[in-house]
């Protein structure tokens, strides 16, 4: 059983692509081998900046011979049919057998495919893998048509067993396979040949190349933490950076250096970001958590133990940090004197060509944050001010240089300006939550600004009809919707989203139609905003508003306003879809959510979720599960009767027409349930309401057991149908059980 070793040796592969590429090589080659019949025991893939390597062990020496038997036409079939059969099988008439069967003499072809030597298969599979390799970005070079991530220099491809190693002969665009590779570019230049994986890995290490990226990462981390530990310091963990750095070196040598004293006053995040982004340095902190050193990872050893390299790196870092310090000091000066310079300059920054500038956006967000403040328990003035300042740092020099520090720098600068800590915190927190695992802010001012920011984004893109489609969501609107959901639910906020969505839609309409409307019309739109605040939802507000302005006409505003309710409904249903995904991850079935979505007040997400959770729990009980059956039976009988009779049975069930105990018991049970459910729903105590509903299960089951609905006596029948209707009404008052799948 031979082993296979492949190495594709090229110019430097981008660090971020290496590990994926090694896995792709493994998959492409091993899939191809298996498909051709070459099974194997194990395979491993490795990468360094200059090579992708695949080792396959215990592979078959040749693919197995296969035998296929095909049944053909009868021996006396027309000539054409026989010819076709022979052609398909690739055989001549004397190579096929005639066999007696119950249907007469039939032709049989036995096609034998001899196994092929592993080398032939490997050569084909590898060439195909190289030519179809899924690099995220690839290139041509010189006069070749082959594409690779960077110029491909050599292909090592050998099969080895007890008898020794043989090169698998192949060639791709003038690059012929061989048994040689190269070590470290500087520390061990020159080619050498290898006889198998162990020999390869050993010789590479002797030539200053650690083949396994994990081993390089471990070495880096081990050496870096040791350097830091020796000084009583600690390396700041950063797995992404560690993987990247491991992809930049073949022979890692960690070196620890000093950060100039001038720069130690910079915020630690600035130091860390600057060192990481520009220089790929690890940050090293002291016991107080301040960043005081760095670790850089060189790709070689030197006679001076890295002194020259470290000095060079230190110098570059000083130049970088001098820039950062310059930005920091300039920014602080602005922050301490007048931050409105920054907010003002956002007037010239386009947020989106239809949705206007960042400054206009901030105005809208500030207004909405004010509206939201009482609901989330924040001071309105503070919420508005926080919203106005939250994005001011986008004009700062530091954020221009390091966009990933947005928000955080805002916090530092607002703190420096002497404003309230809650306002400063909102600047940092209002972007959150960014992902499903990101923390949700819980300070009231931060919540107000974070919600306002996201609702403004959602309503804005809905207003200009730029909704996510399929996999395309360029403005991250799904993330924004999930953000709203998590902010509301995780803070247990009770708020009617419709009201705030509608309000913000009108604000967008104001912005979008700024040029098209005159001042009087704009003032009316502003009036409408107030109406929404009073009425809660757009429809009612719009009616009052029209009443108010009947005399001087609102016709000109109709086209502007016309679409708001539909757009707002559409946005709410989008948010409900996101909510379903969110709740599904928490184990709540989609039909349970649908049953609750159909109930009034579904724009209050906390209410909706409480209802859904209570229903979900109820359905898990035996009573709950059986109640659904009873409900369904009642509903079906009722619906059929209503269709047949052409009337609606909804009122007037009277115990005096009850003929059986079970019937009377159901009347009593429904009275009890109604009395318990109404106040529980009022108090939004869904577990109690659902419990009372589930208690109906016994009486309902007993009723169906004992009573025939369609009695001959029409009065009795009508009374029973009206009784079923009470079951339906009681249950539907809790949740739309018709949506529950059973």
Partner 1 sequence: MSETSPKSFQEIILRLQTYWAAKGCAVLQPYDMEVGAGTFHPATTLRSLGSRPWAAAYVQPSRRPTDGRYGENPNRLQHYYQYQVLIKPSPPNLQELYLGSLEAIGIDMEMHDIRFVEDDWESPTLGAWGLGWEVWCDGMEVSQFTYFQQVGGHDCHPVSGELTYGLERLAMYVLGIDHVMDMPFNDPQTPIPLKYGDIFFQTEQEYARWNFDTANTEVLLRHFEEAEAECRTILDQEAVDPKTGKRIIMAHPAYDQCIKASHIFNLLDARGVISVTERQSYIGRVRTLAKLCADAFVQTEAGGWTAQEAGA
What is the smallest separation between the CB atom of 621 and partner 1, expressed in angstroms?
59
User: Is 298 or 609 the residue whose CB approaches partner 1 more closely?
Assistant: 298
311 binding partner 1? (CB under 8 A):
yes
Asked if 258 and 198 count as a contact pair (C-beta separation under 8 A), the reply is: no
Site string for partner 1, 78-117 (x = CB under 8 A): ----------------------------------------
What is the smallest separation between the CB atom of 265 and partner 1, expressed in angstroms?
21
240 binding partner 1? (CB under 8 A):
no
- Among 194-202, 314-322, 335-343, 672-680, the segment contacting partner 1 (CB under 8 A): 314-322
Which of the residues 352 through 391 are near partner 1 (CB under 8 A)? 353
191 binding partner 1? (CB under 8 A):
no
151 binding partner 1? (CB under 8 A):
yes
Return d(Cα 558, Cα 555) in angstroms, integer: 5
Which of 27, 128, 153, 535 touches partner 1 by CB under 8 A? 153
DSSP secondary structure letters along 578-602: HHHHHHHTTT--HHHHHHHHTSS-T
User: Is 345 or 722 the residue whose CB approaches partner 1 more closely?
Assistant: 345
136 binding partner 1? (CB under 8 A):
no
User: Is 311 or 708 the residue whose CB approaches partner 1 more closely?
Assistant: 311
Site string for partner 1, 161-190 (x = CB under 8 A): -------------------------x----
Beta-carbon contacts of 361 under 8 Å, excluding residues fewer than 6 positions away, are 351, 355, 456, 460
Beta-carbon contacts of 87 under 8 Å, excluding residues fewer than 6 positions away, are none
DSSP secondary structure letters along 653-682: --GGG--SHHHHHHHHHHHHHHHHHHHHHH
Which of 139, 341, 421, 683 touches partner 1 by CB under 8 A? 139
Which of 162, 303, 547, 656 touches partner 1 by CB under 8 A? 303
User: Is 348 or 523 the residue whose CB approaches partner 1 more closely?
Assistant: 348
- Strands in 282-285's sheet, in edge-to-edge order, are 234-235, 282-285, 291-298, 253-258
349 binding partner 1? (CB under 8 A):
yes
Displacement of CA 551 from its chain's centroid (Å): 52
Whose CA is closest to 505, among 564, 546, 574? 564
298 binding partner 1? (CB under 8 A):
yes
Backbone torsions φ then ψ of 466, nearest 5 degrees: -115, 65
Tokens 């002497």 found at: 418
Return d(Cα 493, Cα 496) in angstroms, integer: 10
User: Is 107 or 149 the residue whose CB approaches partner 1 more closely?
Assistant: 149
Backbone torsions φ then ψ of 98, nearest 5 degrees: -105, 130
Which segments within 91-227 are labelled E, that is strand?
A: 97-101, 104-113, 152-161, 164-167, 171-172, 175-178, 180-182, 191-193
Size of the site for partner 1 (CB under 8 A): 41
Which of 150, 535, 546, 739 touches partner 1 by CB under 8 A? 150
Which of 219, 272, 296, 343 touches partner 1 by CB under 8 A? 296
Return d(Cα 486, Cα 457) in angstroms, integer: 16
Whose CA is closest to 390, among 431, 335, 336? 431
- Other Cβ atoms less than 10 A from the Cβ of 82: the count is 18
Q: Go through the chain and tell me how many residues it has.
A: 742
Return d(Cα 335, Cα 417) in angstroms, integer: 5
What is the smallest separation between the CB atom of 260 and partner 1, expressed in angstroms?
13
What is the smallest separation between the CB atom of 197 and partner 1, expressed in angstroms?
27
Which of 60, 77, 188, 316 touches partner 1 by CB under 8 A? 316
Which residues of this protein are in contact with partner 1, per CB under 8 A? 11-12, 14-16, 49, 137-143, 149-151, 153, 186, 248-249, 279, 296, 298-300, 302-304, 308-309, 311-313, 315-317, 319, 348-350, 353
């Amino acid at each position: 059983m031979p082993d296979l070793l492949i190495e594709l040796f090229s110019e430097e592969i981008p660090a971020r692509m290496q590990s994926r590429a090694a896995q792709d090589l493994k998959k492409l080659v091993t899939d191809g081998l298996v498909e051709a019949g070459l099974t194997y025991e194990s395979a491993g893939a490795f990468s360094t900046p200059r090579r992708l390597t695949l080792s396959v062990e215990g592979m078959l020496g040749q693919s197995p011979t296969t035998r296929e038997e095909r049944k053909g036409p009868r021996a006396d079939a027309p000539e054409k049919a026989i010819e076709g059969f022979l052609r398909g099988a690739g055989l001549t008439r004397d190579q096929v057998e005639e066999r007696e069967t119950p249907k007469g003499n039939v032709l049989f072809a036995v096609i034998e495919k001899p196994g092929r030597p592993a080398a032939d298969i490997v050569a084909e599979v590898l060439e195909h893998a190289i030519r179809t390799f899924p690099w995220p970005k690839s290139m041509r070079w010189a006069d070749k048509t082959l594409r690779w991530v960077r110029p491909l220099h050599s292909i090592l491809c050998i099969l080895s067993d007890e008898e020794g190693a043989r090169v698998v002969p192949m060639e791709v665009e003038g690059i012929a396979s061989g048994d040689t590779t190269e070590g470290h570019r500087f520390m061990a230049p020159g080619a050498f040949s290898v006889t198998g994986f162990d020999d390869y890995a050993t010789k590479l290490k002797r030539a200053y190349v650690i083949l396994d990226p994990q081993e390089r990462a471990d070495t880096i981390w081990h050496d870096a933490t040791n350097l830091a530990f020796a000084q009583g310091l600690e390396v700041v963990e950063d797995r992404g950076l560690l993987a990247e750095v491991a992809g930049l070196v073949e022979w890692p040598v960690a070196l620890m250096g000093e950060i100039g004293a001038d720069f130690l006053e910079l915020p630690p995040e600035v130091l860390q970001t600057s060192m990481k982004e520009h220089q790929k340095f690890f940050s090293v902190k002291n016991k107080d958590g301040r960043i005081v050193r760095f670790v850089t990872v060189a790709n070689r050893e030197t006679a001076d133990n890295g002194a020259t390299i470290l000095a060079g790196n230190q110098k570059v870092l000083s130049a970088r940090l001098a820039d950062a310090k310059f930005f920091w000091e300039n920014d602080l000066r602005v922050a301490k004197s007048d931050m409105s310079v920054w907010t003002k300059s956002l007037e010239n920054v386009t947020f989106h060509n239809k949705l206007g500038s960042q400054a206009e956006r901030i105005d809208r967000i500030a207004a909405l944050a004010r509206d939201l403040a009482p609901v989330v328990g924040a001071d309105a003035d503070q919420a508005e001010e926080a919203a106005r300042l939250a994005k001011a740092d986008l004009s700062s020099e530091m954020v221009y240089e390091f966009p990933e520090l947005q928000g955080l720098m805002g916090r530092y600068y607002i703190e420096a300006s002497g404003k309230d800590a809650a306002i400063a915190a909102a600047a940092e927190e209002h972007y959150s939550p960014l992902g499903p695992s990101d923390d949700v802010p819980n300070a009231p001012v931060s919540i107000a600004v974070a919600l306002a920011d996201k609702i403004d984004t959602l309503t804005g893109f809905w207003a200009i009809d730029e909704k996510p489609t399929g996999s395309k969501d360029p403005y991250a609107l799904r993330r924004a919707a999930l953000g709203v959901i998590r902010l509301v639910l995780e803070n247990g906020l009770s708020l009617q989203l419709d009201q705030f969505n509608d309000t913000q839609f009108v604000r967008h309409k104001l912005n979008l139609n700024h040029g098209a409307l005159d001042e009087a019309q704009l003032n009316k739109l502003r009036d409408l905003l107030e109406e929404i605040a009073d009425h809660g939802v757009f429809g009612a507000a719009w009616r009052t508003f029209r009443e108010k302005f009947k005399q001087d006409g609102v016709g000109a505003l109709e086209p502007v306003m016309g679409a708001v309710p539909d757009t707002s409904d559409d946005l709410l249903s989008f948010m409900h879809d996101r909510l379903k995904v969110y709740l599904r991850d928490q184990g709540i079935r989609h039909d349970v959510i649908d049953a609750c979505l159909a109930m009034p007040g579904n724009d209050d997400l906390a209410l909706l979720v409480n209802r859904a959770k209570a229903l979900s729990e109820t359905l898990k009980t035996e009573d709950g599960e059986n109640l659904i059956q009873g409900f369904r039976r009642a509903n079906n009988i009722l619906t059929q009767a209503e269709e047949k009779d052409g009337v609606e049975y909804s009122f007037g069930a009277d115990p005096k027409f009850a003929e059986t105990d079970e019937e009377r018991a159901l009347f009593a049970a429904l009275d009890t349930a109604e009395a318990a459910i109404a106040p529980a729903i009022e108090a939004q105590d869904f577990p109690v309401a659902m419990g009372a509903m589930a208690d109906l299960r016994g009486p309902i089951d007993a009723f169906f057991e004992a009573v025939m609905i369609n009695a001959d006596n029409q009065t009795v029948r009508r009374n029973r149908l009206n009784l079923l209707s009470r079951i339906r009404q009681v249950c539907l008052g809790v949740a739309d059980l018709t949506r529950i799948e059973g």
